[in-house]
Amino acid sequence: MLFVKSFCILFLSCLIPSGTLHRIQKALDKNDFEKAEALIIKGYQKEPDNPGVSYLHAKLLFMQSYNGYDPDSAQIVISKAKMLWEITSLEVQEALAEEDITIEAIDSLTASVRSYLFKRTLQDLSVERINDHLERYPNSPNKDVLIFKRDSIDFEATMAYNTKEAYIEFIASHPFSGFAVKADSILDFIRYSDLAENGVLNDYYVFRSEYPLSRHISKVEAYILKVSTVSHDPLDFETFIKNAKTEKWKKRAGDLLFFIDPDSDLLLSDSLKEAKRIQKEKLIPTVDQNGIGFLNESGTVRIENRFSRIQEEVKCKVISDSWIFAKDNSGGKIILKDGSTLFDQIQDYRDLSKSVGMLRKNGYWYLFHKSGFQIIESSIESAEVFDNHWIKVRKGNKWGLYTLLGFPIAEVKYEDIYSLGDFWVFERNSQIAVYTEEKILKERRERRLSLAFEFDDIELIRHDLLIGFRGDKECLLNNELKFLIPWGDYEIFPDPSGWFLKSDRGYFLYDNTDERVIKRDYPYLESNEGWLALQTEKDWILISRRDASSPTETYDSIKLINPYAALLFQDNNKNLLFSGGKLMELKTHSIKSFPENPEYLSISNGQALGLYNKEGVLVFDGDYDEINFLTDTLLRVEKRGKLGLISTSGEFILDPIFDGLDEKDGLVTTLNQRKIGCYDLFNRVLIRSDYNARITRVGPFYSVKKGNRFGLVDSKEDEVISSSYDEITQWNDTSYVVKKEELYQIINTNEEALTEPFSSYELLFENSEHKIFRYVQEGKFGMRSNNKGEFLHPEFTDILNIGTRDKAIFLADQHLNQAKYHVVSYLNESGELLFSNAYREEEFEKIICDD
């Protein structure tokens, strides 16, 4: 034990140079730097791993009055001192503490050196200096501050460049920096700004795919929704809903799809099914305790009686509009069919379509979609919806065009915008631009319309063709906006298979198959659907529209009769050429064409007058004075002042014995010796000319007038109902309405009265099953079906059909004058009572229309 203790004492005395550390410290205190240097070197030589020597060496290097002042080296040496301290034994540490060399002293000097170096770095701040500092002193406690400073300098430089490439490079080189988030935000904004500036729809699709987490994804999808659905095709909305990322715009697309195609498979959730069911309900205004409410068609209360006034437009009718404008004590409101309030403080409402309405608020009109969103933020003057499609909007006496989502198709700056055939027409400064819907969709999806105002006026030739006018020039444009005939100083005459143009030089042709003007002038030409006759300087040329071969003969003159026949003059000869190639020589013949039926013509040779078809085949002829068409298939022939009837197949129907023939509704009226008869073309029945007025068909019978009264006869002219009535009309298969002495009555063929007399009747509704009339008897209204009998006895003040053409609902008002009450009953088209209510007179006025 005594040996071990002696050994430790000996070792300790050898490890620590006796008095060396004290002498170094003393020299430093006296600023005797030369002596301190020598002692430190001596100390390193004897004990290179002595933390005390390193500590004092660092202290020397960090003294500013020392000519070898070097804070960077001091940092290195003090770090070494701390490392040596950590591996030095406790006994040595205690011995060093006697010379005031402790871990606290080492840490204090370390902190001082680092603080100085940090301040020095901040005084001349640069990325390079900070990186050098961090490389030299990776464990500096100011590391985070310096990294922040370095990233801040880099970020400021990046913002100075302010390009996508600069921000991408910054984020790549500083992925964990707090500035990377800011850089990413700015980069996201730049990308979106570039996207919005270009406005190309396909770029928005790419953006959504590449940057689904963008801060601007909602605005991107809003634009995609507005532009991709410009056509309002339900498939476009369905596609958007399937691919959209944001619920807000999915819902908006679903709302519009509901109004455009309520049967879409994407609208099958329970809530939408219920909304769809309520939407289809028809509501009827009713009053209770002086408050207006609404019932559905089964009489169930849908909206409580809490309103004081409704629009005149919804009185006396079933309400199908999804919005109802009503007023209560707090003002006007837009309410939905489930009774909920969508908007309040509304002054007025205009229904524009099933999906669009105008609301008046604070004296201004605003445009709304009926799913609840405002289509255009600013106020408007008026609007018009095209086929539940695009909206024509007027502001400041100028017009613009918008989609249902408020996307501007055309800015509000035009005198007028309208559709014409297949074209859309824009008028501005007395000039016209013409577009098609296809081109509007294409350009609006890419950017904006590039309207060219190049027309003074236009004329629609058919739905897909129009002539444009500009000064003295004309052109022909098709529905692909291609110039079929270019601008020129001529007058354009459209033709089904080509066109010809007239100018000061004469006529020239336009070949629409080659889309070119044939450069040859003609003094004159004639044209129709079958032929083209051209006059040259020497002769005439005939071209068949149906025969593509070139003409082989020329003529002295040509006269076009109709599309199937042309009259040719050559060397004092006159021939009639038919479209099938048949040639007929004519001498003293006369020809008559029929504009209403050009497939036929009549030819007279002076002895007989015949009818020929388009192939030149004789249909019939005879000793007739004149032939005229009565219908498309019937000809009225005249022979010595008398008229007969022959079909275009040559069938002789009526001999020429009549003074007059006329046709209406399949009945040919005959006149003979001032008496009237008829021939039924459908049943091939002749009613002799023995009556005083035009004969009409009444069911299976014929209404005839003898003297001043009407009756019915059958096809054999046997009397069915005597000629003793002022009017006869069919009621149903077995009964008739007759009028006699200013009163009407329903009778059967035995002339037995089936009803009491009534003074008038009026059709209220008609479908495939029956007709429903209201009638007046002794000043009261009743209602009767022609097939289902009487619905209401004549005891009502008025009866109205407040339903639609497809589905009737009848309102029957019974005014109890003495009690000052109105009992109102509602019936369906089968005559079944839906419900009834009793109203005081002031309540009744709230729901009944002025008419």
Residue range 525-575, pLDDT digits in tens: 888 888 888 888 889 988 887 775 555 578 999 999 999 999 999 998 999
Average pLDDT, the chain: 88
Residue 558 covered by a domain: no
**What band does 701 get if pLDDT is binned at 50, 70 and 90?**
very high
CB 247 within 8 A of CB 255: no
Residue 52 covered by a domain: yes
CB 828 within 8 A of CB 815: no
Chain position carrying tokens 């290195």: 76
Of 159-168, 793-802, 813-822, least confident by mean pLDDT is 159-168
pLDDT for residue 1 is more than 70: no
Residue 373 covered by a domain: yes
Does 394 share its domain with 481? yes
What DSSP designation does 355 have?
A: S
> What pLDDT sits at residue 512?
57
Mean pLDDT of 807-826: 92
- Give the span between the Cα atoms of 402 and 422, in whole angstroms: 19
Domain holding 22, by residue range, is 13-123
Residue 633 covered by a domain: no
> What pLDDT sits at residue 130?
65
> What pLDDT sits at residue 123?
57
pLDDT for residue 10 is more than 50: no
**What band does 134 get if pLDDT is binned at 50, 70 and 90?**
low
Mean pLDDT of 46-51: 88
pLDDT digits (tens, 9 = 90+) for 642-653: 999 999 999 999
Does 64 share its domain with 98? yes
Of 88-97, 109-118, 370-379, 388-397, least confident by mean pLDDT is 109-118
Residue 655 covered by a domain: no
Mean pLDDT of 505-527: 70
pLDDT for residue 700 is more than 80: yes
pTM attached to this predicted model: 0.74
Does 99 share its domain with 217? no
> What pLDDT sits at residue 133?
63
Does 217 share its domain with 312? no
Which of 55, 90, 123 is a domain's end point?
123
- Give the span between the Cα atoms of 520 and 524, in whole angstroms: 12
SS3 843: helix
Neighbours of 3 (CB within 10 A): 7
Find the DSSP H helices in 746-831: none
**What band does 766 get if pLDDT is binned at 50, 70 and 90?**
very high
Total domains present in the chain = 3
pLDDT digits (tens, 9 = 90+) for 563-618: 999 999 999 899 999 988 899 999 878 999 999 999 999 999 888 999 999 999 99
- Give the span between the Cα atoms of 507 and 490, in whole angstroms: 9
Q: What are the two backbone dihedrals, phi and then psi, of residue 413, each rounded to the nearest 5 degrees?
A: -155, 15
The single-letter code of the amino acid at 409 is: I
The single-letter code of the amino acid at 496 is: P
pLDDT for residue 86 is more than 60: yes
**What band does 92 get if pLDDT is binned at 50, 70 and 90?**
confident
> What pLDDT sits at residue 495?
67
Which of 108, 123, 138 is a domain's end point?
123
Mean pLDDT of 322-337: 93
pLDDT for residue 124 is more than 80: no
Strands 809-816, 821-828: pairing kind: antiparallel
**What band does 268 get if pLDDT is binned at 50, 70 and 90?**
low
Q: Is the dihedral of CA 192, 194, 198, 201 positive or negative?
A: negative
The token pair that represents 530 in the structure block: 């079958």
pLDDT for residue 12 is more than 60: no
Residue 414 covered by a domain: yes
